[in-house]
Structure 1
Amino acid sequence: MRLIGKLAVSAALATVMAAAPVTLVPAQNASSGPTLVEAELPLTSLLALYRVRNPQRLEQVFQTLEENWSDGYYAPLIETTAFTSNWVARLATFEFLERMSGQSLGTDSQAWFQWLWNRPEAITADYADFKALIYRLVDPRFETYFSGRSDSARIRLDEIRWGGVVQDGIPPLRNPDMLTAEEADYLDDSNIVFGLEINGDARAYPQRVLAWHEMFVDTIGGVEIAGVYCTLCGTVIPYRTTVDGTNHVMGTSGFLYRSNKLMYDQATQSLWSTMRGEPVVGPLVDQGIRMEWEPVVTTTWGEWKRRHPDTQVLSLNTGHTRDYGEGVAYNRYFATDELMFNTPFNNDDLLNKQEVLGLRFPGAPDDQLAVDTAFLSENPIYTAEVGFQQIVVFTDSSGANRVYDPQEVVFAHYDGDASIVDVDGVAWTLSEDALTAEDSRTLQRLPAHRAFWFGWHAAFPETRLVM
């Protein structure tokens, strides 16, 4: 997510605070400072506190707030410190948070968020409306995400963070222009692409283009697909957007959950999990809606083009002006192991941005497997089980991973390209949709995708890891 100007954020918040109902009234003795009208503060009143800039009056306000304290106020207080331009109130709020929590986290909002997320969730009944009030001044469409939706949230509302852009501020590519392999002279063979093939229709989506757009919405092999790229967590997942006859038109919400982008659907403005392909906040929650995902491979343009000479590939004619050079988008983010948005977890089993191959299946929702891609490169044939599903992963000489259902077949040799031999000496041929034996048996390709370790672990903290 690209961050927009902080001045715009501060101006929006200032407008919110100016419009917020004031429940602070002068006491009978004016020198005693403001008091509270209600014992239970509405969250809009927490915003009203930021009108006060005099340190002594702020301390009086926080003293009164302390006397009426609810742990549900931690979340909005921490959230507003990330936006307010009133530095006097901001510093006073951090001091107040330290006094109430017993923590010594100073002015580090990221540390405060992580502390909050490792506590039992405690939010007030109107916290969702608080988020609607805050963010509608950034983008009026944001209000619908939250207003009146506290009961429909299936993830922690206090873990939903704004990524710094408006709705579709990182513009999805909808029905994008495509080129033939011969026409795509802007690509070098070493450029990274995300490749998929559906019903014989092979497509390549270069990382250098998709990183600026984070989603493509296209029809591939007659199937409506939303390919979602979360650059922060290194994940590309192509979803079939038609579920039970309804096509969900997806977009980029502008919000994150555990540093993973949240999608939205245009019809209901529900928020959707990118990792799970299902709605997590809004009217579509608990309706059994889950988008199926297609297999995707991360490889090089040269390797994909060799395997699929008839492939189509994204054109640079996107309708947007960007520097689509290889490695330009998010170059600083990719150059370090630091995170832009933290998660509740600190896990050092692998580096944050080490890539893993993520495996999960609807039949076993509580079992997930992450396999270090460095391990797979050293073990080009790897077998395992995820829930009831047997898997075999073939990693070719370029480092690309493909997963299949072995159905009890045991494989002995892989040439790193397309030829495989099983322990009975039967030859098999690898393709994007299946393994095909010389006796015409086929083994189905299974969906899998890569992710940065921290992003996969944040979404599935109970995952197994092979490294």
Structure 2
Amino acid sequence: MNVRQVIPKDAIPSVENPTFVDDHSPPDDDVVGIQLGGEARAYPIRYLNYHEIANDSLGGVPIAVTWCPLCGSAVVYDRRPPAESLPEGADDPGTLEFGVSGKLADDDLVMYDRETGSEWKQSLGEAIAGQLEGASLRVLPATTTTWDQFRKSHDDAVIMAEPGGKSEAASESDSPAEIEYQDDPYREYVEGDGFGLGAHRGEGAGREWEREDIAAKEPVLGLVLGGEALGVPRTRIEDAGGVVTAIVGGESVVVFATADGLHAYRDPGYDWTSTRGGVRADGVMWDPTTGAPLDNPATHVAANRESLERLPAQRLFAFAWYDDHGDAFFESG
């Protein structure tokens, strides 16, 4: 793992105790959405480009909504490291608050906690240096979708308001500048062929990628269950008609690709079929975005099924998943 200091600590400011509004424009803004304890909140990626971490509490759970623009990595963590993950002899630090260290580990955001100063690799949720080295954070079920779609799925959803302030991501130097949220400092990077910090800064093609079956910046939905990791590339889901199933850590999972995102649920053991109208299983149609069964308006038959259970997962680029988990990619057939 290559760890290097790239910008000053806190030059990209995390968000503490964010405020929320009921409406937001544009409706097609990409967001990280999460529902806990009957509450639903969305965090615009357009804002997270300039802050990368939002420390919040939802449904009584302290959460960290994290985003690494270089890795396209969106993960929501519980800010309380499980006791069993702590290094031997370490005291339980309780609830942590995370900031942006200014370091990168294999081009991924390195967070730090303000309680112990330990450093954490964002895409792994593991402490890589400091008092808590070796500890891990629990991934929470979340989705990356559009604000419009998330609001349709959660009538009472609210969305993070503009945090404001200054950020290095808004600057052409290492010194923070006033944020203009309508700008996208990573558009050229995402649309270009290269990947990594060098490609973002225009310092050449960036790192090398030797795989031909998956593009380096292919969106992947990453699952780590029962000690086993599996990354499911978007194109492999699309090639299968928008739905694939797999066994991960002894768990049966079903993964959907929709126009707005990638979604993973615990599979009750249904036989999933992709049709013109969507996805069908157990005699009814299903909404891949929410995991909810759909009533049949033509026959007035109610879909008397329970909604699928969303699994803890992360969305990230293929190269970042490979950095963390090697060749643990879903293979069709």
Equivalent AA in structure 1 for residue 18 of structure 2: P
- When residues 428 and 452 of structure 1 are mapped into structure 2, their CA distance, relative to the original with a 3 A threshold, is closer
Write the distance in 2 (CA, Å) between the matches of 1:276 and 1:340.
17
Q: Determine the structure 2 residue equivalent to 1:376.
A: 237
Larger radius of gyration: 1
The answer to whether the 8 Å contact 1:258/1:341 transfers is no
Q: Determine the structure 2 residue equivalent to 1:405.
A: 266
The answer to whether the 8 Å contact 1:176/1:218 transfers is yes
Equivalent AA in structure 2 for residue 298 of structure 1: T
How far the C-alpha of 1:259 sits from its partner, in A, is: 0.7
Counterpart of 2:64 (choices 197, 222, 226) is 226
How far the C-alpha of 1:309 sits from its partner, in A, is: 3.4
Give deviations 1:171-210, integer Å, cap 9, x for gaps: 01111121102xx2xx223322222211221111111111
Write the distance in 1 (CA, Å) between the matches of 2:277 and 2:110.
36
Partner SS state of residue 150, structure 2: helix
The answer to whether the 8 Å contact 2:43/2:160 transfers is yes
Partner SS state of residue 237, structure 2: helix
Give deviations 1:66-99, integer Å, cap 9, x for gaps: xxxxxxxxxxxxxxxxxxxxxxxxxxxxxxxxxx
List alignment gaps of at least 5 residues for structure 2: 84-91, 167-177, 199-205, 295-301
Structure 1 position 422 matched with structure 2 position 281: yes
- When residues 407 and 447 of structure 1 are mapped into structure 2, their CA distance, relative to the original with a 3 A threshold, is same
- When residues 161 and 414 of structure 1 are mapped into structure 2, their CA distance, relative to the original with a 3 A threshold, is farther
How far the C-alpha of 1:465 sits from its partner, in A, is: 4.2
Equivalent AA in structure 1 for residue 129 of structure 2: V
Q: Determine the structure 2 residue equivalent to 1:168.
A: 10
Write the distance in 2 (CA, Å) between the matches of 1:416 and 1:372.
23
Counterpart of 2:216 (choices 348, 352, 359) is 352
Write the distance in 1 (CA, Å) between the matches of 2:28 and 2:306.
34
- When residues 430 and 457 of structure 1 are mapped into structure 2, their CA distance, relative to the original with a 3 A threshold, is closer
Q: Determine the structure 2 residue equivalent to 1:177.
A: 19
Give deviations 1:234-270, integer Å, cap 9, x for gaps: 0010000123471121111111111111111112211
Q: Determine the structure 2 residue equivalent to 1:203.
A: 41
How far the C-alpha of 1:381 sits from its partner, in A, is: 2.0
- When residues 364 and 345 of structure 1 are mapped into structure 2, their CA distance, relative to the original with a 3 A threshold, is farther
Counterpart of 1:261 (choices 85, 104, 109) is 109
Higher normalized contact order (CA 8 Å, seq sep 6+, divided by chain length)? 2
Higher strand share: 2
Higher helix share: 1
Partner SS state of residue 446, structure 1: coil
Equivalent AA in structure 2 for residue 292 of structure 1: R
- When residues 435 and 220 of structure 1 are mapped into structure 2, their CA distance, relative to the original with a 3 A threshold, is farther
Q: Determine the structure 1 residue equivalent to 2:298.
A: none
Structure 1 position 237 matched with structure 2 position 79: no
Write the distance in 1 (CA, Å) between the matches of 2:307 and 2:151.
24
Give deviations 1:337-360, integer Å, cap 9, x for gaps: 223437986333322222122222
Give deviations 1:293-317, integer Å, cap 9, x for gaps: 1122222222222222321112124
CA RMSD after TM alignment: 2.8
Structure 1 position 462 matched with structure 2 position 319: no
- When residues 415 and 392 of structure 1 are mapped into structure 2, their CA distance, relative to the original with a 3 A threshold, is farther
Partner SS state of residue 232, structure 2: strand
Partner SS state of residue 74, structure 2: strand
Write the distance in 2 (CA, Å) between the matches of 1:434 and 1:291.
28
Write the distance in 1 (CA, Å) between the matches of 2:289 and 2:330.
27
User: Percent identity between the aligned chains?
Assistant: 29
Write the distance in 2 (CA, Å) between the matches of 1:206 and 1:225.
16
Write the distance in 2 (CA, Å) between the matches of 1:228 and 1:347.
28
Counterpart of 2:146 (choices 296, 300, 312) is 300
Equivalent AA in structure 2 for residue 178 of structure 1: F
> Following superposition of structure 1 onto structure 2, how do residues 88-167 of structure 1 map, counting pairs within 5 Å?
156=1, 159-163=2-6, 165-167=7-9
The answer to whether the 8 Å contact 2:218/2:233 transfers is yes
> Following superposition of structure 1 onto structure 2, how do residues 40-79 of structure 1 map, counting pairs within 5 Å?
none
Q: Determine the structure 2 residue equivalent to 1:147.
A: none
The answer to whether the 8 Å contact 2:221/2:314 transfers is yes
Structure 1 position 316 matched with structure 2 position 162: yes
Write the distance in 1 (CA, Å) between the matches of 2:208 and 2:230.
18
Structure 1 position 325 matched with structure 2 position 187: no
- When residues 221 and 431 of structure 1 are mapped into structure 2, their CA distance, relative to the original with a 3 A threshold, is farther
The answer to whether the 8 Å contact 1:434/1:445 transfers is no
How far the C-alpha of 1:407 sits from its partner, in A, is: 3.2
Q: Determine the structure 2 residue equivalent to 1:453.
A: 318
Write the distance in 1 (CA, Å) between the matches of 2:221 and 2:21.
29
How far the C-alpha of 1:330 sits from its partner, in A, is: 1.9
Write the distance in 2 (CA, Å) between the matches of 1:179 and 1:446.
27
How far the C-alpha of 1:415 sits from its partner, in A, is: 7.6
- When residues 250 and 318 of structure 1 are mapped into structure 2, their CA distance, relative to the original with a 3 A threshold, is same
TM-score by length of 2: 0.79
Partner SS state of residue 267, structure 1: coil
List alignment gaps of at least 5 residues for structure 1: 1-155
Counterpart of 1:214 (choices 52, 55, 71) is 52
Structure 1 position 444 matched with structure 2 position 309: yes
Equivalent AA in structure 2 for residue 355 of structure 1: P
Write the distance in 2 (CA, Å) between the matches of 1:332 and 1:438.
44
